[in-house]
Amino acid sequence: MDIRTLFPTAQWLDIKLPTGDPTGIRFKLVGQDSGQFRTAAKKFAAEFVENDSKKKFDPELLERQQVEICTACIIDWDGVSEGDQPLTFTKEKLVEVISLPEAAWLREQVSDYITARTNFFRRGAQAPDPVGGTEGGT
């Protein structure tokens, strides 16, 4: 079996309002096994350790980390517009949109999706039986 078929893939997430209603917006995401996620998470690890050693809780740090991870893991979008003008995906525009305080519900939806590893694996992909395995006992 091709080992690469067992690796996670980018997936489209249909964005819904907190009410569950569709928005017509889709984000293409990579998950927690991606280099983008790991790089963004490492960026904040030292700062968390430093704050923890001082017994200091910084909610702004948590929000900055969520913005950083979301923007690192969103690699494309579809259906996003401003007024009646479609917005071309750029990292700059993404950061602008995701960073808005009013976008907290959107960041939470993306965060929940990217941290669920099962969202990024091909449906029906199975590992082969182990070589030399014994079926039916020894």
> pLDDT tens digit string along 72-85?
999 999 999 999 99
Kindly report whether the global pTM for this prediction surpasses the value 0.85: no
Question: Could you give the angle at the alpha carbon of 101 between the alpha carbons of 98 and 104, nearest 5°?
Answer: 65
Q: Is residue 134 part of a domain?
A: no
* Structural domain includes residue 25: yes
Both tokens of 114, joined, read 């990217």
Is residue 69, in this structure, part of any structural domain at all? Answer: yes
Q: Please give the angle made by the CA atoms of 22, 28 and 34, to the nearest 5 degrees.
A: 135
Q: Answer whether 73's CB lies under 8 Å from 110's CB.
A: yes
Q: What is the pLDDT of residues 21-65, one digit of tens each?
A: 999 999 999 999 998 998 888 887 777 676 666 666 667 777 888
Structure tokens at 98: 């995701």
Host domain of residue 25: 3-120
Q: How many domains does the chain have?
A: 1
Q: Which of 61, 39, 34 is nearest to 115 (CA)?
A: 34
